């Protein structure tokens, strides 16, 4: 594999040596071929050796997902609303004096 420099395009190989390097698979968004990409290239622009299409190397299994709403979130929202009402009442009671 070539080293990534601004002057060279990094090509993602279709198959690579499995020595000490760790790879993940990603489909080329241009031609659809499955590529094995070195994990050191995650988040960097790579180019498919088959079609030359450029894309950012991303492993979908590492993407974070938004956590579903927790039942405690509703209680927190309710407490914040009650606190806002209490502050509002305290400020209007202070004005009445």
The secondary element (H helix, E strand) that includes residue 77 is helix 71-96
- Backbone dihedral region for residue 32 (phi beyond 0: left; psi -120 to 50: alpha; all else: beta): left
Q: How far is CA 17 from CA 23, 47, 89, 96, in A?
A: 9, 18, 70, 79
pLDDT mean over 49-71: 76
Please say if the pLDDT value at position 14 is more than 70: no
Query: What average pLDDT does the segment 41-69 reach?
Result: 81
Looking at per-residue confidence, does 73 or 29 come out higher?
29
Does the pTM surpass 0.75? The reply is no
pLDDT band at 6 (very low <50, low <70, confident <90, very high): very low
SS3 57: coil
């Amino acid at each position: 594999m070539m080293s990534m420099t601004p002057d060279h395009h990094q090509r993602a190989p279709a198959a690579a040596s499995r020595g000490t390097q760790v790879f993940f698979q990603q489909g080329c968004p241009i031609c659809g071929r499955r590529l094995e990409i070195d994990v050191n290239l995650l988040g960097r622009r790579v180019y498919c050796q088959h079609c030359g299409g450029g894309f950012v190397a991303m492993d979908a299994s590492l993407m974070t997902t938004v956590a579903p709403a927790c039942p405690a979130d509703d209680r927190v929202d309710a407490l914040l609303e009650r606190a806002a009402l209490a502050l509002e009442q305290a400020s209007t009671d202070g004005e009445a004096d």
